Amino acid sequence: MAAVQDAEGWPWWRGAAIYQIYPRSFQDSNGDGVGDLQGITQRLPYVADLGVDAIWISPFFTSPMRDFGYDISDFCGVDPIFGTLADFDALVAQAHRLGLKVLIDQVYAHSSDLHPWFAESRNSTANLRADWYVWADPGQDGTPPNNWQSVFGGPAWTWDARRGQYYLHTFLKEQPQLNLHKLEVQDALLEVGRFWLERGVDGFRLDALNHGMADPALRDNPAAPADDGKRRSRPFDFQIRLHSQSQPEMVYFAERIRGLADRYGAIFTMAEIGGDNASEEMKAFTLGNHRLNSAYGFDFLYSPELTPGLVASAMQEWPGDAGEGWPSWAFENHDAPRAVSRWHAGDSAARFARMKLALLLSLRGNPILYQGEELGLEQDEIPFERLRDPEAIANWPLTLSRDGARTPFPWTDHPLAGFTTGEPWLPVGAGNRGRAAGLQQGDPHSTLATARSLLALRKAAPELRYGGFELLHATGELLVFRRSLGQRQILCAFNFGSADAAIEYWAADCTALISVNGATGRVLPALSAWIGEEASRTGPSG
């Protein structure tokens, strides 16, 4: 199949703005309190009007929902709570009519313990799928085979009496680890990918990909050094995950995924990569033209503050050298607390949300907006008795609070937020109902209007979508950089602080393209951004 290119000759995904939809919480079409595929289809015109290029839909596959869809019991099925395969096909068709590409999650590191593969594997040590998962004998005293710890707390090993061995699970015990060292397992997962490609999807977000292989020798992980007295709430954080994840052989499976995608044209493949060496691994997974197209890590997702130095450090890792992959960036997602609450809650939260959007949509790479980020949503506070997330319950009160970022999308300021006619699976707070899309619609000064303007500018300006990145200033609270493509230049300036900042020195030869929160080419007020077109000159290209 021929690769799909845009008017500039790049593949469609290069620099594309991606909108993440968490299906449980986007729109409920049948009143059961849980969002579904028909609900997403119903709201696609809103997403298209934002000006994004693609949607990424978090898991909607058949699942017992122990980890809300990331524990999959049928990789090629739609869970009834979300609808049917026909509903998914209708969603893809409507998205394509509206000019939106469709990305879906692929979870290749583990399955549900209710998956037929695991049911067969656990039956004996001599069946056809006996080694499709990671099994190990106990120690002489019956303890687990090594010291590896689960992300959600406790050992990463669970005893299975039927088989008489332990099985590995990086996350919940209901999420046994697939053995991706085995080619038959890789082949089976590639057939899953092929199934969805045949249904018209345009790309994959590959969940926790560097967890897909563990050290076959099962060596103990070394202890992590103390982190300046910072309290660690999970045993997982006491180790350097040297042997339990991030095995170098995983890049060869990534090459196989890319090979499959290439047979369907410009299919976008983007890995989620976390861990102590995320930057190095992201580059390895995206090196050259035979591995994945892009990767994103946790540079911003869990950072306690947003600073010019943090942005400069993250961008420095991706200078655009020959053979280098293409980065993607997320400030928020379904696994991390809302960025406004992490970085700037309070009376000026709306100003900060608009400035933050300007920054995300100006960076070199693919920006990923999480549903509601365009509204400036903050973290909802969920009382313990309403928590659904197993991580939050296990680590209460020192939790990542994923539930607070997964609450229903506020379409209106009604108590049910226009999301459902029933009892929503998670409550949506009054504060976020006050930021509802319906309230912001038509307000030229709203965060939603700012998001639309910024997305339109990114789509119209190839410098922002494809161009190189040149850091000009990242001291104190002021960040200034240049995006360049050939002789075309765009200057991007941001004030993270509470006092005015002068930028006339950099912006003297610029024509304003967009102003956020009252910024000019001379002065940036507190929490503002200014983007202007510079006089033509030779600069770095993408």
As annotated, the active-site residues are: 207, 272
User: Long-range contacts: 307-312, Cβ < 8 Å, 24+?
Assistant: 307/496, 308/473, 308/474, 308/475, 308/476, 308/477, 308/478, 308/479, 308/494, 308/496, 309/474, 311/359, 311/363, 311/474, 311/479, 312/471, 312/474, 312/479
Q: Using alpha carbons, list the distances in angstroms from residue 211 to 33, 57, 84, 381, 525.
A: 33, 21, 30, 30, 44
Alpha-carbon distance 471 to 168, whole Å? 44
Direct distance between the N- and C-terminal alpha carbons of the chain, in angstroms, rounded to an integer: 26
Alpha-carbon distance 459 to 198, whole Å? 29
Burial (CB < 10 A; 0-12, 13-18, 19+), residue 486, is: middle
**What tokens does 413 get?**
């300021």
Alpha-carbon distance 85 to 199, whole Å? 9
- 3-class SS of residue 268: strand
| Residue whose token pair is 């292989």 | 213
CA count, 13 A, side-chain hemisphere, 480:
18
Alpha-carbon distance 382 to 388, whole Å? 9
Torsion over CA of 85, 86, 88 and 93, rounded to 10 degrees? 150
Strands of 300-459 (E only): list them: 326-330, 366-370
Neighbours of 502 (CB within 10 A): 12
Whether the Cβ atoms of residue 157 and residue 168 lie closer than 8 Å to each other: yes
311 sits in the region (left: phi over 0; alpha: psi -120 to 50; else beta) called alpha
